[in-house]
Chains A and B, each alone.
Chain A
Amino acid sequence: MALNMKEVEHVALLARLSLSDDEKKIFGEQLSSILNYADTLNALATDDVEPLTHVLPAFNVFRVDSIRPSMQQKEMLTNAPLAEEGQYKVPKIM
């Protein structure tokens, strides 16, 4: 499986990573080589195999819906790259 330039650009967009043309070329080659390796899985017949998403029996975990202390706004914002009036600030969205 070899990735062409368009596919590399598509996956970079999905991943929200801006890449230079050189990076697109190198990552494209490396991803293709890893995907080729992944293709070895096709040697196995798995039509009747149940996928294993999680090794533990998965079930929903509930807790009592009671009021308890949570982190304060000021603490939550200490690592914000940019904040104003108790809110995260980002460039214009609209």
Chain B
Amino acid sequence: MELYELTVHELQERLTRREISSEEIVKSLFTRINNVEDKVKSFITLTEEIALQKAREVDRAGHYNSIAGIPMGLKDIFCTRGVKTTCGSKMLANFIPEYDSTASRRLDEMQGVLVGKLNMDEFAMGSSTENSAFFATHNPWDLERVPGGSSGGSAAAVAAGEVPFALGTDTGGSIRQPASFCGVVGMKPTYGRVSRWGVIAYASSLDQVGVFSKDVLDSALIMNIIAGHDPLDSTSAAIEVPDYISYLDGNVKGLRIAYPKEYFGQGVDAAIKESINKALHKYEELGAIVEEVSLPHSEYALPAYYLVAPAEASANLARFDGVRYGHRDFEAENVIDMFSHSRAQGFGDEVKRRIMLGAYALSSGYYDAYYLKALKVRRLIANDFDKVFRDFDVIVSPTTPTTAFKLGEQCGDPLTLYMNDILTVPVNMAGLPGISIPCGFKNGLPIGMQLIGKAFNEGTLFKAAYGFEQNTTYHTMKPELGVK
């Protein structure tokens, strides 16, 4: 087994046993990155010097607790002091933050080693990472295909063995969908579970920070570090964080699992449905109770999302005006032109589309018809989940309707691309936790299973996910990539 193939907990064991040093791990990962990065293109920025320096510091101190000395990647949406943070946009191509996001600072304080900042759809808007202003990332399982998005760089880097784990963000599926496409574990916690401070905002009532990892144990381990209240984020919940690892007993006996019939409808690939059905049988075999339920408003979640999220984006992205940071048009002669030109030059098409859509939905005369209507539908969606969770512990569904599609295939009509998120968006609308874990393959491409839990009940999700993982081998499969 090469070092780059190991999980966080496996690396941790070797460090604790003094079999390897952090410096050796970091050097070997950079060899791996050098071997595969021109194919996968996960990283916008690599921080080799900083990483080696930190690794040597950890080795000198010699305390390998938690993630000390273990490499990590961050989606380029997390502000990192002194390290360029672009958000995948020309607008922030040269932006170097003066502070760290809370989530990345917590990892940094546990002595995790940052190896680089990962590619993403511009301002987290997209489902393929093709909306990055810099370049597209390629799916390690098939380089002609997308890794998903918006956290595509994070998913691809973990799948390709470039980092053992990475952080991403999920507003409508941006962790779970790329995790599914790349065959890794993607955890999107409950809204408010992880601080959003220092994370560049897209849609503030939906955005949540989460984890990409190679297995469920690593996901729980990282959540133990990043979850919890932060006084700097007034929407972060002051609710106690349990030890997530304590939920990993592999026992799903008596667990009440629901599968919503609406998530197995037309448009969901037959091979994916079959995979999820097999997984449900597996759960039954393991002693869980599995029943069909209905989430009747499911089909309305996506159209409601594409009003709520753009509305919030149009407000959040108003700050990019060329005054305090970011791209500025220096030719403009008056300040209004400077705003409009700077924004026109700095933003890509999808970002412009969503800003305009949001501005329209919030504008006088249309607010009630669109924005308010969407918020009411959001209530109905949340009520659907509440009802099911009175009788069940976990909801299981496919993560995505299809496996990874080809680069360029869905670039034409924005609506086609939006449909990718049809099974993940409802979870954000209700603020619930969701995790995607590998559960099969179709023609060599990974299939993901989504598990949805009650608010602030990530523990039960981890329990259910771990129970499946420990009785299957999908998470041990690795893409070839044609290099050792």
Chain B interface helix/strand/loop/mixed: helix
Number of inter-chain CB pairs below 8 Å: 166
Asked if A82 CB lies within 8 Å of chain B CBs, one says yes
Listed stretches B67-75, B131-139, B164-172, B338-346; interface member = B338-346
In the complex, which range does the number of interface residues on chain B fall in?
A: 35 or more
Contacts of B253 in A (CB 8 A): none
- Give the contacting residue for A49; candidates B231, B352, B376; CB below 8 A: B376
By beta carbon, the residue of chain A nearest B307 is A38
- Give the contacting residue for A51; candidates B325, B332, B333, B376; CB below 8 A: B376
Asked if B260 CB lies within 8 Å of chain A CBs, one says no
Contacts of B297 in A (CB 8 A): 44
- Give the contacting residue for B370; candidates A38, A43, A53, A55; CB below 8 A: A38
Tell me the complex Cα distance, A46–B376, Å: 6
- Give the contacting residue for A19; candidates B98, B334, B344; CB below 8 A: B344
Q: A41-B303, A51-B376, A63-B231 are in contact. Are A16 and B357 (CB under 8 A)?
A: no
Contacts of A90 in B (CB 8 A): 323, 335, 338
The answer on a CB contact under 8 Å between A51 and B98 is no
Q: A18-B340, A44-B300, A56-B192 are in contact. Are A50 and B379 (CB under 8 A)?
A: yes
The answer on a CB contact under 8 Å between B378 and A52 is yes
Q: A17-B344, A91-B333 are in contact. Are A44 and B98 (CB under 8 A)?
A: no
Q: A15-B355, A41-B303, A44-B380 are in contact. Are A92 and B335 (CB under 8 A)?
A: yes
In the complex, which range does the number of interface residues on chain A fall in?
A: 35 or more
Tell me the complex Cα distance, A12–B192, Å: 33
The answer on a CB contact under 8 Å between A55 and B356 is no
Query: What are some 26 contacts across the A-B interface (CB < 8 A)?
Result: A11-B356, A16-B336, A17-B347, A27-B353, A27-B356, A30-B413, A31-B353, A34-B357, A34-B414, A44-B377, A46-B373, A49-B377, A51-B372, A52-B376, A54-B235, A55-B191, A55-B431, A79-B324, A79-B325, A80-B323, A81-B325, A81-B330, A82-B330, A91-B332, A92-B333, A93-B334
